[in-house]
Every structure is written in structure tokens, then in C-alpha cells.
Amino acid sequence: MAAELRLGGAALVLALLFSISSHFSLLNASSSPQDIQIVNAERRIDLTSHIIKVFLTLKIENTGTSPVSEVLLAFPPTEVDHVALVKAAVTAGKKKKKTYHPLDVKPSEQSNAPNGAKFFSISLLKPLGKGEMATLEVLYELTHSLEPFPLEISQSESQLVYFRDSALLLSPYYIKQQTTFIRTPTTKVESFTKLESTNRVGTELKYGPYSDRAPYSFSPIIVHFENNNPFAVVEELVREVEISHWGSLQITENYKLVHAGARHKGVFSRVEYQSRPAQSGVSSFKRILARLPPRVHSVYYRDNIGNISSSRLRTDYQKSELEIEPRYPLFGGWKATFVIGYVLPLQDFLFESSDGRRYLNFTFGCPLIDTVVDKLTIKVVLPEGSKDPSVVTPFPVEQQLETKYTYLDVVGRTVVVLEKKNVVPEHNSPFQVYYNFKPIFMLAEPLMLVVAFFLFFVASTAYMHIDLSLSK
């Protein structure tokens, strides 16, 4: 009995030692912010549009003892809700021989984040060993981050906006040296925060270089500048893509467009607007350019009133451009609702995979250039009889299935619905919808028409030959 107790105690001790050693090995394999330092950080903020583009170059070094497989990007809680996308790549080579390898980026939860900071995790292609360095190129875009001030302007005034950020890069890592460049649309800058090592030349503001900054360092700045570029925002866009195996792709796009800049105050004078275009309504816009696929035809542009004739279509073998004009110029706070429709050849977008499934290869996003879409819904209407639909997208989207009934449908058509919020032009990437379809279903509607005409002919013939009179 005593021997069994000794053996049991020895086994318990061995199990405890194994658990402790496994715990420490996992700790050594995982990386912490103290394992990485940023040797140099260069941030370039482009404010020339209402979509803010930030280009970030990070030279990182592993100062720890264990390999590092991911790098964290930190955002203030007030900014993370405006982040439309984050892209990252690691560079290899120098100058003309430099190559870029895309990296996976996804949101990350960190329990010890100070002041509610939010994070994105960049997964490296291979772990970064002790003492090794790597250069990362990061692009992220912000929407609805420019604040008009004053909030209301007249027809003859320019639009001024506020931009708020930090002269120092918010990061969980120690930064040896960093510099921030801010580019404005024009040289008209009302004011900006002046710190040490601040310089302004033309349309560029420079903060830095700053050396030896601790993790989560923050130095708020405000830039008040002129920005008369169109603040075109599509509050809601519904794109319906209807597939017909008889040779066409029917596209219908419903837009709710708004000018999201400083609200217009006072009376609108069309005479002044047309006679003094350089001084009157400089922040408004009256034309919008939509880039459509090549070989487009049967294009229409209309609103609730009817067809709008003020549009021009230019096509070539690479692309098609549709320039549209709303019925009135759009000032701050003004809205316009309209529909664009067109037809595309099916053979340019529908293909067959190696396993026999058919798939649609189409472009996600909004055809209007330089616009933000608050809510985008894409509905792909599959032919009747399609089964087992699946979707491949380059970024996460919400998915659901619906059923739509059109003429001569019996069981209805499957509709794949994709939804995404805060969409920018960088989201204009191809996506695929796969489905199974038996060609016999293409004969369903013609057979229904043949049977209907045959029954009508039989009924007419019977009616002509039947005597329904009561007298003989």
C-alpha cells in the first residue's frame, strides 16, 4: 500500500513538473511588446481627399530571445471606428529590386491595452529571429474623420475642416526614431499645432524626427485647413447582379448620395453659380464619374421623376466611363437618389471551375470614384434551379440567402446577399460566387411557354367546335 502511495506521489510530481515546463515553453514561444522595437517609423498622412490615406513604413527589430510571428498596430478608440481598411506588406530587396509580399491583417484583442486602445495584428510570413530586422509597409484609410468648421457655409465661401491626430505614432513598442508628414490639398492652412521639430513647406507639414519614445506615447495635434474636394458619400447602395444563362448579366444599382461636407446656408443662386464657377460653390459638385466594366451596353440613368439625359458614356476595350450629372448641384447636406442600370456580356464574368461548378467573377465595391459607401449591399440573383451557392471574398462580409420570384419562375431564384459597411475605393476587388446548375433547367421556361400556347390552342379549338346552344 505504501509503495503504491509513493508511486502515485511520484507520478503527481512528474505531472506537475511537466505542466510547469510546458507553461514556460509556451511563454517563451509567444512574443510580447517588449520583444520588438521600432528602429524607424515614417508616417505620411494624405488629406487631399475626404478619404484619409495613411502610409506607414516601419523598420522593426526583434530584441527578445524568442522568435516573433506577429506585429501589433494600435489605434485610439476614437479613430478605430473610422478605419475602413488596413493593408500590410513586408519588403525585400532594395530600390529597383524591391519586392512586396502581402501579409494577413486582422483585428486583435489585447487585455492590457491602456485608454481603450484597439489593435490590428499583422502576421509575418516567417518568424523574426533574435536580432533580425524587417521592413513593413502599411496602408490604412479613415472615413468621416474630417470635421467641417464652420459647420455651415454660404454659396461663396470655401470649406474649412479640422483634422485631429497625434504627432507621435501610437504603438505598443519602443520607437527609436519617427517622423510624421501631413499633406494638405492647398497651401491655405488656417492653423496647426506647433511642437518641437515642426516645419511647414508648401502643402506639407512635418513633425519630427523624434527620438526614443516610450510605448503608447501620444502628442495630440490639430490642423485646420481648406478642403474643397467633393465630400461624396453614398449612404446606401444596393447593387443587384442578375445572371441569365441566355447570355447576359443585368446590373441595377440604387444610390442614396449625400454631400457630407459643411452644410449650405442661405439661398442658392443658380445665376451666380453658373456665371462665377471659380468663386461660387467651390466645395459643391455637379458631376460624378462611374467606372464600369468594358463592353457595357443598354446603359440608363434615372431617378424617381424619370430618365435623366445629362450623362455621357465613353467606352474602350479596357473600361467604360459614365459621367453623370444630378438634376441640381450638390452642396453640403444636400441629397440625391438615382438608379444606374446596364447590361454586360455573360462570357466575360461567368466561368466553369475544374470540379464542374459555375462561378461568377465580379467586382466588389462602388463604381463611383472617390466615394465612401456607408452601407453596401450586393445581391447576386442566380438562375432558377441553382444549388449549393458559396462565396469567396477578399475581406470579411456579412452573408445571407434570399429567394426572388420573377416571371415564369416556379420555385424562385436563389439570391446571395453580401453586406459591408464603410466601403472605400480600395475595396473594389474581385469576388466569386460558386453554384451548381444543371443545363436541363434552361429548358424549363421555354417548355412552359410551349405548353401554355399549346393549351391555349387546344382550348380555342375546342371552343370553336363545341356547340353550347340550347336549341337544335
Instruction: Annotate 142-166 with DSSP letters as a single string.
Output: ESS--EESSSEE-TTSPPEEEEEEE
Asked whether residue 237 falls in the same domain as residue 182, the answer is no
CB of 102 closer than 8 Å to CB of 88:
yes
**pLDDT, tens digit, for every residue of 167-197?**
999 999 999 999 999 999 999 999 999 999 9
In a domain, 195, yes or no: yes
Per the listing, cell 445571407 goes with: 400
Mean pLDDT of the region 364-393: 94
Longest Cα separation, the chain: 120
- CA–CA separation, 152 and 149 (whole Å): 8
On the question of pLDDT at 22 being above 70, the answer is no
Q: Are 318 and 212 contained in the same domain?
A: no
Q: Are residues 190 and 277 in the same domain?
A: no
Domain stops at, among 174, 204, 226: 226
> What does the pLDDT look like over 129-143, one tens digit per residue?
999 999 999 999 999
The candidate with the shortest Cα–Cα distance to 315, out of 297, 342, 341, 302, is: 297
Higher pLDDT, 208 or 112: 208
pLDDT digits (tens, 9 = 90+) for 221-246: 999 999 999 899 999 999 999 999 88
Residue 105 included in any domain? yes
Residues whose CB is less than 8 angstroms from the CB of residue 20 and which lie 6 or more positions away in sequence, other chains included: none
- The span from the CA of 404 to the CA of 413, in Å, is 5
By three-state DSSP, how is residue 448 classified? helix
Residue 460 domain-assigned (yes or no): no
Cβ contact 136:57 at 8 Å: yes
Instruction: Point out the domain boundary residue: 181, 200, 226.
Output: 226
Buried b vs exposed e over 392-425: b needs ≥16 C-beta within 10 Å? ebeeebeeeeeeeeeeeeeeebbbbbbebebbbb
Does 412 reside within a domain?
yes
Grid look-up 443587384 returns 240
Q: Based on the domain organization, do 258 and 201 belong to the same domain? A: no
Residue 153 C-alpha cell reads as 457655409
Which amino acid is present at 230? P
pTM over cut 0.75? yes
The pLDDT value recorded for residue 292 is: 95
Measured between alpha carbons, how far is 163 from 380 in angstroms, rounded to an integer? Answer: 39
Beta strands in 193-349 (DSSP E): 198-201, 204-213, 220-226, 232-244, 248-259, 263-264, 288-292, 297-302, 311-315, 320-324, 335-345
The answer to whether residue 73 is domain-embedded is yes
Q: Which residues are within 8 A (CB) of 366 and not within 5 positions of it... i.e. 6 or more apart?
A: 234, 237, 373, 376, 423, 425, 428
- Are 187 and 238 found together in one domain? no
Residue 466 lies in a domain: no
Count of CA atoms in the C-beta half-sphere (13 A) of 257: 29
**What's the CATH code of the domain at 54?**
2.60.40.1730
For residue 330, is pLDDT > 60? yes
Segment 291-319, tens digit of pLDDT: 999 999 999 999 888 888 788 999 888 88
Range of the domain at 358: 232-445
Inside any domain, residue 372: yes
pLDDT number for residue 385? 85
Same domain, 265 and 208: no
Q: Which of 208, 226, 244 is the last residue of a domain?
A: 226
Let me know whether 349 and 438 are in one domain: yes
| Of 276-280, 376-380, 466-470, minimum mean pLDDT range | 466-470
Q: Please check whether residues 236 and 379 belong to one and the same domain.
A: yes
| Residue 265 domain flag | yes
Indicate the length of the chain as a whole number.
472
Note whether 68 and 124 are same-domain residues.
Answer: yes
Structure confidence at residue 82 as a pLDDT band (50, 70, 90): very high
Instruction: Tell me how many domains the chain contains.
Output: 2
- What CA–CA distance (Å, rounded) separates 115 from 139? 24
287 and 388 together in one domain? yes
Tell whether 311 and 275 lie within a shared domain: yes
C-alpha cell at 191: 492653423
Same domain, 329 and 385: yes
